[in-house]
Amino acid sequence: MSADNRQVFRHQLDIPIEGKMRLSSNKAQDEYPYTIMINDVGGEGLGFTEKTDLALNTELDFEFKLNEENLYASGKVVWKKGTNDSFFYGVKFIFQEQKEASLIFQEVNRLVIRLHKRKMEA
């Protein structure tokens, strides 16, 4: 199977986490003006909900927290679905350096392990 056809694991979050987003074209801006709800996250991307209608291939910057670790990532909208009052987006991360990818992958794995342990203890 080629790398383009791989299915990468995304962890569906039982409770969405809040994150911040900005258009990559506004990198000069220090702030992230959009508040988003992240519904799933994996080593290569995330899914989120927001009221703003974004075009496919829009490049975005994200700030969010996993396991008390502040994470920053850039990505591109690869699909979207409209609902009554918001949109659900799928984003593929764009990493400038391998250490960015490694940190997100590590934190997603830590989250999955922690949640699995909680389910086993319940």
- Give the CA distances from residue 92 to residues 14, 57, 114, in Å, rounded to whole numbers and listed in that order: 21, 10, 24
Would you say residue 83 lies in a domain?
yes
Buried b (16+ CB within 10 A) or exposed e, 40-78: bbbbbbbbbbbeeebeeebebbbebebeeeebebbbbbe
For 71, the domain range is 14-121
How far apart are alpha carbons 108 and 100 in whole angstroms? 12
CATH number at residue 82: 2.40.10.220
Residues in the chain: 122
pLDDT at 1 over 60: no
- Domain annotation covers residue 6: no
* 60: region left, alpha or beta (phi > 0 left; psi from -120 to 50 alpha): beta
Per residue in 5-61, pLDDT tens? 445 567 788 889 999 999 998 777 778 899 999 999 998 999 999 999 999 999 999
Looking at 4-18, 57-71, 73-87, which range is the least confident one?
Answer: 4-18
Q: How many CA atoms within 13 Å lie on the side-chain side of 110?
A: 11
Domain count, the chain: 1
- Spatial distance between the Cα atoms of 107 and 103, rounded to a whole number of angstroms: 6
Largest CA distance in the chain: 46
Residue 101 lies in a domain: yes
The pTM for the full model equals 0.84
Question: Is position 78 within any domain?
Answer: yes
